[in-house]
Amino acid sequence: MKQKGINSFANQRIWVIGASSGIGEACTKAFIKAGAKVALSSRRTERLSTLAQFGGPEKTLVLPLDVTQQEQLNCAYQDIQEAWGGLDLLLFVSGVYTPLRADNFNFDIAQKTIDANLLGPMRAVGLVLPDMLKSHTGHIAIVGSVAGYSGLPKALAYGPSKAGVINFCETLYYDLLPQGVSVHMISPGFVATEATAQNDFEMPALITADEAAKEILAGIQSGEFDIHFPKRFSGFLKFLRILPYPLYFWIVRRFVKI
């Protein structure tokens, strides 16, 4: 049994959370270009308003929010329901990243990372799920990271948050496939964004946000659950996760020079 894809994004009602920059911005532009109605959310109102001009008032809604605030999510979803009568696709892209290692571990940073990266998508999914279950249709797409596959340097909080996203998506897929609701787990490698600009090391197989958006839209259209890219990097990390730990740690130390 294969889950449903989306033949065309034209007139699809899409909510992009984390739309103001990076992958979210690139996906938003691609959706608008494809003729979708897009609700844009993030904390940066000015950038959302600028981005909304690509689609105009008939095709876009600007709904600023903080993903750690349930009431703000509630209000935004209510606005979508009132304007469009429903939602076809939730794309959750929003996330935070602060490099952390054991010698500079900060619990406050870790707590904020988990709150935004893991509890954030859980809040949003919990909001849209009842209506999707009622209609037995809809798509839930969550951007995680290949950093969630297994432990990597400088990801002492980010990695666990994305590992949680992977587990969450896997369980959602299992539960929702019989209900007609599609789940898309998106695991990018290194993408040139404001977040990765913090990295002080060479990022293998680095791609642009536009390239990432192309992969995401194609994966959702074809109904893929596991959307990961670029394959030459994400495939290698998938292989690493099945190796015995001594070999895994040796390879990471050998090839990750940080």
Whether the link from the prior residue into 178 is cis, omega within 30° of 0, is no
CA angle, 71 then 28 then 84, to 5°: 55
Contact indicator for 21, 193 with CB cutoff of 8 Å: yes
> Tell me: the pLDDT tens digits for 160-179?
999 999 999 999 999 999 99
User: Which strands make up the sheet holding 89-92, listed edge to edge?
Assistant: 60-62, 37-41, 13-17, 89-92, 139-143, 182-188, 226-229
Distance CA 108, CA 126 (A): 25
SS3 content of the chain, % helix, strand, coil (to 5): 50, 15, 35
Planar angle of CA 218, 191, 229, nearest 5 degrees: 40
What pLDDT is attached to residue 23?
Answer: 93
Half-sphere exposure of 90 (CA within 13 A, CB side): 28
Angle of the 22-33 helix axis to the 209-221 helix axis, nearest 10: 60
| Alpha-carbon span 32 to 148, nearest angstrom | 30
Q: What is the pTM of this model?
A: 0.94
User: pLDDT 10s per residue in the chain (258 long)?
Assistant: 789 999 999 999 999 999 999 999 999 999 999 999 999 999 999 999 999 999 988 999 999 999 999 999 999 999 999 999 999 999 999 999 999 999 999 999 999 999 999 999 999 999 999 999 999 999 999 999 999 999 988 899 999 999 999 999 999 999 999 999 999 999 998 776 666 556 555 666 678 999 999 999 999 999 999 999 999 889 989 999 999 999 999 998 887 655
Domains of the chain: 13-255 (3.40.50.720)
